[in-house]
Structures are given as structure tokens and as C-alpha cells.
Amino acid sequence: MNRNLRTRPSRLLLALPVVAIAFSLAACSGGAQRPSVDQLSDGLTTILEEGGQGGILTDDQIDCVAEKFLDSKVSDEDLSNLAAGKDEQTSQESKALVTDTMSSAAAECVS
């Protein structure tokens, strides 16, 4: 009797939990999610304060800027960085988009 025939199904059965764990971990780390207005406002406030520009915008103006960011084409990952108080973008194009969005949002929200 060939032992390889008997062990092959058991090897497959042992591999199933490993595959299931890999898929569940991949699903959990599905990338950044778009933050809420409040999360983004808090992060933007932190960035402004750390840049020495704290208090330059009112809370309502910062909320308005956050809403403009959420309506923009800025990626979820870049928005998550901003919400975490980090002025870090994923690429030079993203940096330009964040800068342009901030400029236009500030102009709209301050007036």
C-alpha cells in the first residue's frame, strides 16, 4: 500500500487552516479607511499647531476644511495620515493634491 496516498489528504487538511488565517489577515488589513470629519479635524488641528499655526482657523473652519478633504480625490491612506496628525503623503502627486486641496478648502472655508 502506498503511504503517499494516505498522507496527501491529511497534508491538505493541515494546509486549510493556514490558508484561512492568511485570507482573514488580508481582509483585516484591507488598507486605510476614510476617516470621519471629526477625526480629520483633530488631525488637521494637530498639524497646524505643530507648524506654529494653531488658532489660525476656528473649529468651524477646520471642520469645513475636513469636509472638503473628504469630498476630494485625496486617497484614504493620505487622509488617514492627516487624521493621525501626520503630514505624510504616499507620493509626490499625493502631496501636490493635498496642498492644492488645503489651499482651495481654506480659501472657501475662511471667506
- Give me the number of domains the chain comprises: 2
**Mean local confidence (pLDDT), 20-28:** 42
One domain, residues 12 and 43: no
Looking at residue 111, what is its pLDDT? 82
Looking at residue 6, what is its pLDDT? 52
Residue 36 in 3-state DSSP?
A: coil
d(CA 47, CA 16): 46
One domain, residues 63 and 100: yes
For residue 2, CA distances in Å to 8, 10, 12, 15, 103 come to: 11, 14, 17, 21, 73
One domain, residues 23 and 44: no
One domain, residues 13 and 45: no
Mean pLDDT, the chain, rounded, equals 82
Please enumerate in sequence order all residues whose Cβ is within 8 A of that of 14, keeping only pairs 6 or more positions apart, or say none. Answer: none
One domain, residues 23 and 53: no
